[in-house]
Amino acid sequence: MISDGDAQVRHVYLDVPHSGRARPSWYGESVGHYEGGDTLVVDTAAMNDRSFIDNYRTPHSERLHVVERWKLAADGKSIEVALRVEDPGAFTMAWAARQVYQRVNQGPLTEQVCAENNFILGQDTVPIPMAQRPDF
C-alpha cells in the first residue's frame, strides 16, 4: 500500500503466517489472506509505540494488535475497512471502527517534494518532477 501524500509504503504479505520474530517498527508486521473471495483480512502486530492510533493522538503500546477487513463495495465506488483493535497495554478492552474510502480517479501518483528551499514564494513555474512510468 502506498500513501500518495508522502510516499510511505506498507507491505502486506499474503498467505503466510506471522514470523514470530518481528521487531517493533512503524508499520509492524502485516500478513493477509482473503476470506470469501472478496475480503482482504490484514493482521498486524509488532508496531512500535511511537505512533498514534488516530488524529486525536491517542497513544498505544507495543502490544497493539490490529485486524482489518478490506472489502470493495458492490458498486465499485468505495472500499470499506472494518477494524478491530486490541492493546492490553493501553486499553481495557478491544474496540472496533469502520472507515470508508471513496474511489478517486486522480491520475498517476506524483512526487511530493518537501526539501527546504525548493520554491520561491510567489513563483510556481517550476513543475514537480514526475516519472513517465513506474520504476518497479
Residue 133 CA to residue 127 CA, distance in Å, equals 17
DSSP 49: S
User: What was the pLDDT predicted at 133?
Assistant: 80
For 66-78, b/e burial (b = at least 16 CB within 10 A) is bbbebbeeeeeee
User: What was the pLDDT predicted at 17?
Assistant: 94
Residue 4 has pLDDT above 90, yes or no: no
All three cell numbers of 94, joined, read: 478491544
User: What was the pLDDT predicted at 7?
Assistant: 67
Residue 44: which residues within 8 A CB-CB, separation 6 or more?
Answer: 27, 28, 29, 30, 31, 65, 66, 67, 68
Residue 64 CA to residue 88 CA, distance in Å, equals 8
- List, for residues 60-74, the tens digit of each pLDDT value: 999 999 999 999 998
DSSP 27: S
Total-model pTM: 0.76
